[in-house]
Amino acid sequence: MKVDGQNIRPIWLDSDLKKVKVIDQRLLPHEFLVADLKTVDDVIRAIKEMVVRGAPLIGVTAAYGVYLAALNSPTDPVEDAYLIEECIRLKSARPTAVNLAWAVDEILSEMLKVGDASEKVDAARKEAEKIAEAEAENCRRIGAHGFSLIDKISRSKKGKTVNLLTHCNAGWLACIEYGTATAPIYAAFDNGIDIHVWVDETRPLNQGARLTAWELGKYGIKHTIITDNAGGHLMQHDMVDMVIVGTDRTTFTGDVANKIGTYLKALAAKDNNIPFYVALPSSTFDWKLRDGVRDIPIETRNPDEVRYVQGLDRGDIRHVLITPADSPAQNFAFDVTPSRLITGFITERGVCRASEKEILRLFPEKKKS
């Protein structure tokens, strides 16, 4: 996507084919820094510490991690046992996003098909690039399908500003291009629809206030940052026409694990008859899980992410303690929104209701015989 006139993605392979380059998303919007990932350990650390984040991007980064594993193999030819071991390590970097395991397994199966070391390395690179391009293309399609929903609201409001609300960052930073939740927003903006986005801050790591606001600002889209507490009030007072969020894992029955707090916004949307959409590439579907609230593993992260807040003070990025020094905190990274609260899914194949039947209508190849 364009940032200050330059096209950029959150991840790319360096021209020497030895380093994976990623935007360090921990420092935005205050600093724009590109980090080098050279080893599987670098990749795991980048995923764990959220240098990269967002389900599709985690998948693509892990895919490049498999490539780096092959590239840095201690043996020649690359041993399958080594590769499988590295893939297991990569898959355990974070528990909730299903794209991680999906992307690693995709690429591993391609590599196990070919023989010698250079073939394996080539296969890994091509497959990682293929996954990245596929995610970008999926997001483009999500944008096209979601656009018609926003366009419809705009027409019903006779061209008056369409107010969207989003939680966390399901933007291009979380994907490769366009984003998932933001793809329809970018498409609407590109097509001249008058839109305004309420951006949930998204504590504890403020991906909304830091990343979504930055993305939208750089694209020139009107937006306003609000606390995570404010969305219900806005919805009670007709200040939100549609909610769009992303997802980190989606059951085939339509339950959605997304950034903690998504469930609260879905409840408020339901209570105020406001459409609540989840935008997702099919790589975030978990075709095995039926009951999201019960079965999707929810990551708990370092409590200091709650106790401290990062921000800019006189040019320096600082971490300030906001709690009493001796008060404990707990840090749940995701929650699960049950399908009954979701108006619909916006996928690369079109829009459908959040139900097993409708999902399988769009993805018939996933039907169990």
CA distance 260 to 268: 15
We find the least distance from the C-beta atom of residue 315 to its own copies, in angstroms, to be: 10
Beta carbon nearer to its own copies, 310 or 355: 310
CA distance 58 to 96: 11
Beta carbon nearer to its own copies, 123 or 209: 209
Give me the residues paired with residue 36 across strands: 21
Beta carbon nearer to its own copies, 74 or 315: 315
Q: Name which position in 1, 66, 134, 209 contacts its own copies (CB under 8 A).
A: 209
Q: Could you say whether residue 250 binds its own copies (CB under 8 A)?
A: no
Q: Could you say whether residue 260 binds its own copies (CB under 8 A)?
A: yes
Name the residue type at position 213: A
- Restricting to residues 27-66, name those near its own copies by CB under 8 A: 29-30
Q: Could you say whether residue 342 binds its own copies (CB under 8 A)?
A: no
We find the least distance from the C-beta atom of residue 356 to its own copies, in angstroms, to be: 21
Crossing angle between the packed helical segments 98-111 and 80-91, to the nearest 10 degrees: 170
Name the residue type at position 225: I
CB 298 within 8 A of CB 335: yes
CB 66 within 8 A of CB 94: no
Do β-strands 285-286 and 249-251 pair in parallel, antiparallel, or remain unpaired? parallel
We find the least distance from the C-beta atom of residue 87 to its own copies, in angstroms, to be: 30
Q: Which span (61-69, 99-107, 173-181, 301-309) binds its own copies, by CB under 8 A?
A: 301-309
Beta carbon nearer to its own copies, 128 or 162: 162
Count of residues near its own copies by CB under 8 A: 64
Q: Could you say whether residue 251 binds its own copies (CB under 8 A)?
A: no
Beta carbon nearer to its own copies, 102 or 263: 263
Q: Name which position in 113, 126, 152, 233 contacts its own copies (CB under 8 A).
A: 233
User: Using CB atoms within 10 A of its CB, is residue 249 exposed (0-12), middle (13-18) or buried (19+)?
Assistant: buried
DSSP 284: G
Q: Could you say whether residue 308 binds its own copies (CB under 8 A)?
A: yes
316 carries an active-site annotation? no
Q: Name which position in 214, 276, 277, 285 contacts its own copies (CB under 8 A).
A: 214
- Restricting to residues 313-332, name those near its own copies by CB under 8 A: 313, 318-332
145-170 per-residue burial string, b: 16 or more CB within 10 A, e: under 16: bbbebbbebbeeeeeeebbbbbbbbb
CB 218 within 8 A of CB 3: yes
CA distance 174 to 180: 8
Beta carbon nearer to its own copies, 117 or 264: 264
Q: Could you say whether residue 82 binds its own copies (CB under 8 A)?
A: no
CA distance 186 to 191: 9
Beta carbon nearer to its own copies, 27 or 84: 27
We find the least distance from the C-beta atom of residue 79 to its own copies, in angstroms, to be: 42
- Restricting to residues 187-206, name those near its own copies by CB under 8 A: 199, 201-204, 206
Q: Which of 42, 200, 241, 248 is catalytic?
A: 248
CA distance 258 to 56: 13
CB atoms within 10 A of CB 273: 8
Q: Could you say whether residue 219 binds its own copies (CB under 8 A)?
A: no
* Residue 141: CA count within 13 A, CB half-sphere: 16
Q: Quick one: tokens of 120? A: 């394996």
* Footprint on this chain of its own copies (rule: CB under 8 A): 29-30, 199, 201-204, 206, 209-210, 213-214, 217, 223-234, 236-237, 259-261, 263-265, 267-268, 271, 293, 298, 306-313, 318-332, 334-336
Residues annotated catalytic, as ranges? 248
